[in-house]
Structure 1
Amino acid sequence: MNVRLPAWRVPGWLLVFWWLGRGLFRLAVLAARYWWITVPGGLALWVRVEFSGLVLAGVVATVAVGCVAWWRWHPSSWLRFGWYPLVARVRALVVYRPRWASVMATCGLATVFGGDRYVPRLLRVRCDRWGDELTVRMLPGQIPDDWGQAAERLAYAFRLPTGQARSTDRPDRVVVRLMRRDPLAGIVAPLPAGNVPDLDGLPLGFREDGQAYRLRLAGSHVLIAGATGAGKGSVLWSLIRSLAGGIRSGLVEVWAFDPKGGMELAAGVPLFARFSYDDPDGMAGVLDEAVKRMRLRAARLRGVTRQHVPTVEEPLLVLVVDELAALTAYITDRKVRDRIKEALGLLLSQGRAVGVHVVAALQDPRKDVLPFRDLFPTRIGLRLTEPEQVDMVLGDAARDRGALCDRIPESTPGVGFVVLDGVREPVRVRFAYLTDDDIRELGRDYRRLCDTDDEGMTR
């Protein structure tokens, strides 16, 4: 049976009208999309035709003088509302949109179904001093973790050094942050120490977006991991400096443990209520005393409140351990090691509500070295030696979400990624650096008012 489709003869003039209509529609869409080009261009053409080229030059000069005056009068608003939006539109037109489809295909973010190719849609580009933020509508079946794994490839595809992806309030969108320059390349000077520490936001350094990074110590324990020379001391001393006002007034007590013989923390002895070092049995005894104080405080607060509020009579107790692995894995005396592990486990599991917090630093993040890492809600990963160590410290898939701790160069100590329980995306931070003179000055200015010799404290 021979079945043939009917042939329709279309006049040539009708095809011409169809092509013209389709072309005009596309021009209208482009004109509306790129209104920031078409509107000024149309106005300039109208001024040139209605008046003269001299009038057009005067208008352009007036606009230029107004922009310069705006920049000189209020630079921050000019950059935010004038310059960076223009840069974002130009970069979207010149850098991202022409290569978007090909980059999506080569990075594995585009797909083919039924013979048709589907590409994620680039919705918006925003620029600032340091980089670009691309808001993208994901394809069905994609999640932000897919873009986090491809963020580094996207950055290299657009000739930029680093990239990171994060989720948004809308489940079908993701924001890709591509950096042009590193805002954390310079050393951060010590931040001012307030008279009353804000336990909900202790200033420790600066984030990648230029804003101050504030650590929430209330209701949290902090784990710091990094290789030798990664800047663990910067984190510890920045934290102690932010607590200095409370130390001087008696609202905060810091018990310091330095198993490396006191080399790191000895300069801050005037700030510490207890300073234990070198003797494993003595450090175990101080930890047992902290457990005892925690239990007594819990008994007093039971039925009264569910969250401790620091006072001079009941100060916040912060235990700072410089090298945790030396207490949990490297002690040869098994009984002492088990005592320390038991005390730390009790403090980490029961201490937050009664105002007993543990801030621990270590170099080796293996599971046998730190068996209770999941009890630290706040984790800070500085420069690490292996990619596998990133997930050991910060949690599963943290590296895929942008925490490239193994890529941090040795020339930037104090740079790291912070991960909080319940927050998917890591935050890149550079912590303030305190010199030996800064630490000694801190000890002189903020030494404890009730400074007395206690057992386990070396003056």
Structure 2
Amino acid sequence: MIGSGLAKSARCWRRCYLLAFLLGIAAGVGAIAGLTWAWWALAGVLVGAGFPGAVWQARWPGSYERRVVWPALRRAWRKRVQLVWPEVCREAGLSSQRTVKARDGAGSVQVWTPPVLREVSASGVWVDVIAQVRMGQTPDELIAAAPRFAAAMNAQSVATEQLAPAVVWLRLVMCEPLRVPVTAAVPQHVELDRITLGRQVDGSPWSMQLIERHTLVVGASGSGKGSVLWGICGGLAPAARAGLVRLYGVDLKGGVEIGMGEGLFTTTAETVDEALVVLRTLVGVMDKRLARMRGVERLHRPAPGEPLHVLVIDELAALVAYSTEREKVAEATKLLARLLSAGRAPGVLVLAFVQDPTKKTVEMRGLFTQTVALRLRSAEEVRMVLGDGMTDVAPAHKISPATPGMGYVVQENGTAVRVRADYWPDGLVQHIGHDFPAPVKQPVVHVVPAPGNADNGGSRPARSPRKPRSPRASRGLRSDAATRSDDGEAS
């Protein structure tokens, strides 16, 4: 069962059926004792309603929930919205007050006019409310009061959107389907455009667009970044085996994370020097593709022989901030910035994970085109990752440490959605790496670039070694010819 509310409702319905069954037996006993025919009718109704329902609930609980419990819950949710709407609008200052005469003509009464409740519908685990603001109100006022409606309805979360200049949509999520973790499944089909990673708060699948996107995933230690990493890499496994995708892994924490599924990757790097080799290789691929695409096409389409290249960096700050070798950090930062600024069109994408999202740590975070905020440490980090104004609608800093993989993403319409990635145990990751091996393996070959040209992939012609200078003769032993040669005339 999903959510404690559903479990309580199921138990309530079970008690009702058992009570009806017991009352039916009591009525039957009364009828046998010589009471009127009405007792026989009551006994038949109660037994007929109670016994089949009790058997249905015990024998087929899934069907019972879908056909009985969920419809009853949704009807109750709709009625409660209609009941609390006027009161919440009045307490939130959204209703207008006016004085009208009483119907009997004696005295007057105060009448409150709330925003118009145009439609209330329920499906899944949520209730959709469409309301129209009063004259003189703005949609922002109604959107600001959305948390009040969520609290009055005892909802788990609320999402809002302005549908028209005077119409607002609210979605109240009544149950919490993300509290219980779900183990990921082995992918069976090639997916490139969108990769399914887990579930949204309304119970629908959470999928992420990959093509034309650079993705940054930010989360504190233990927030579940590995679930998102393997959700994407595992989702790409069939495409990698088919030669449509090549994965490049950079894990400067000793390869502990990426090493679990190393078979998926074309190349893996565990040191800064190896990471620089991978970055230079991908910059070279990007430049060659851009040269071929000029005047022909604007977006690369993955195909056998022309795969999508995906660079996966576990703990980005270890590559561009934490290393003590400043020259290598500067080169890695420049190469990565080039990939982020020009790699989307030619199909060279970056997927990076980091704990600290500050500019001091990740200078190029603004170059990523989509971000995922897992559990963060402060409201300021929420603003850094998701943007201004997202602290209240996407409070990633309030996510419980007991729910790794849970976070917030901003959809294309600008609304924030709570999601949770499916869990990838070590055995499943190893299974994916073994059963979906990369068809092409490229070992890391260290190449020392020419000085001053590591950032643009070019090479300066090597300077010939300097010839040793011949020893100078002492002043006292110089010949007349040497003297004449130096002074231009005989001394």
TM-score band, normalised by the shorter chain? 0.7 to 0.9
1:328 and 1:111 mapped to 2: Cα distance?
57
1:173 to 142, 154, 167: 167
Question: 1:320: Cα distance to partner?
Answer: 0.5
Matches within 5 A, 1:27-426: 79=66, 87-93=73-79, 95-110=80-95, 118-140=113-135, 146-160=141-155, 162-167=156-161, 169-196=163-190, 198-277=191-270, 279-400=271-392, 402-420=393-411, 422-426=412-416
After TM superposition, the structure 1 stretch with the greater mean CA deviation from structure 2, 82-91 or 388-397, is 82-91
Deviations, residues 27-86 of structure 1 (Å, cap 9, x unaligned): xxxxxxxxxxxxxxxxxxxxxxxxxx99x989999x979x9799999x889958x87666
SS at match of 1:287: helix
SS at match of 1:393: helix
Over 3 Å counting, the alpha-carbon distance change for 1:111 and 1:254 in structure 2 is farther
Say whether the 8 Å CA contact 2:143–2:168 is kept in structure 1.
Answer: no
Question: 1:252: Cα distance to partner?
Answer: 0.7
Say whether the 8 Å CA contact 1:168–1:174 is kept in structure 2.
Answer: yes
Deviations, residues 281-309 of structure 1 (Å, cap 9, x unaligned): 33223212211210111111222211111
Over 3 Å counting, the alpha-carbon distance change for 1:389 and 1:143 in structure 2 is farther
Over 3 Å counting, the alpha-carbon distance change for 1:351 and 1:158 in structure 2 is same
Say whether the 8 Å CA contact 2:277–2:444 is kept in structure 1.
Answer: no
1:446 and 1:243 mapped to 2: Cα distance?
10
Aligned letter for 1:385? R
Question: 1:442: Cα distance to partner?
Answer: 0.8
Higher relative CO (CA 8 A, sep ≥ 6), structure 1 or 2?
1
1:178 and 1:153 mapped to 2: Cα distance?
11
After TM superposition, the structure 1 stretch with the greater mean CA deviation from structure 2, 104-113 or 199-208, is 104-113
After TM superposition, the structure 1 stretch with the greater mean CA deviation from structure 2, 103-112 or 113-122, is 113-122
Question: Is the counterpart of residue 445 in structure 1 residue 435 in structure 2?
Answer: yes
Say whether the 8 Å CA contact 2:173–2:202 is kept in structure 1.
Answer: no
1:138 and 1:79 mapped to 2: Cα distance?
35
Say whether the 8 Å CA contact 1:206–1:429 is kept in structure 2.
Answer: yes
2:327 and 2:97 mapped to 1: Cα distance?
62
Over 3 Å counting, the alpha-carbon distance change for 1:276 and 1:149 in structure 2 is farther
1:145 and 1:264 mapped to 2: Cα distance?
44
1:159 and 1:128 mapped to 2: Cα distance?
17
Over 3 Å counting, the alpha-carbon distance change for 1:413 and 1:254 in structure 2 is same
Say whether the 8 Å CA contact 1:419–1:425 is kept in structure 2.
Answer: yes
**Partner residue, 2:479:** none
Question: 1:167: Cα distance to partner?
Answer: 1.4
RMSD: 3.4
**Partner residue, 2:33:** none
Aligned letter for 1:411? A
Aligned letter for 2:228? V
1:299 and 1:163 mapped to 2: Cα distance?
49
Identity of aligned residues (%): 36
SS at match of 1:348: helix
Say whether the 8 Å CA contact 1:154–1:163 is kept in structure 2.
Answer: no
1:173 and 1:107 mapped to 2: Cα distance?
18
Aligned letter for 2:370? T
Larger gyration radius, structure 1 or structure 2: 2
Question: 1:191: Cα distance to partner?
Answer: 2.8
After TM superposition, the structure 1 stretch with the greater mean CA deviation from structure 2, 387-396 or 111-120, is 111-120
Aligned letter for 1:170? A
Aligned letter for 2:198? G
Question: 1:112: Cα distance to partner?
Answer: 6.6
2:64 and 2:343 mapped to 1: Cα distance?
46
Normalised by the size of structure 2, how large is the TM-score? 0.71
SS at match of 1:383: coil
Over 3 Å counting, the alpha-carbon distance change for 1:251 and 1:98 in structure 2 is closer
Question: 1:451: Cα distance to partner?
Answer: 3.3
Question: 1:358: Cα distance to partner?
Answer: 0.6
Over 3 Å counting, the alpha-carbon distance change for 1:286 and 1:113 in structure 2 is farther
After TM superposition, the structure 1 stretch with the greater mean CA deviation from structure 2, 182-191 or 280-289, is 280-289
Question: 1:184: Cα distance to partner?
Answer: 0.7
Question: 1:165: Cα distance to partner?
Answer: 2.5
2:169 and 2:303 mapped to 1: Cα distance?
43
Over 3 Å counting, the alpha-carbon distance change for 1:85 and 1:444 in structure 2 is closer
Question: 1:380: Cα distance to partner?
Answer: 0.7
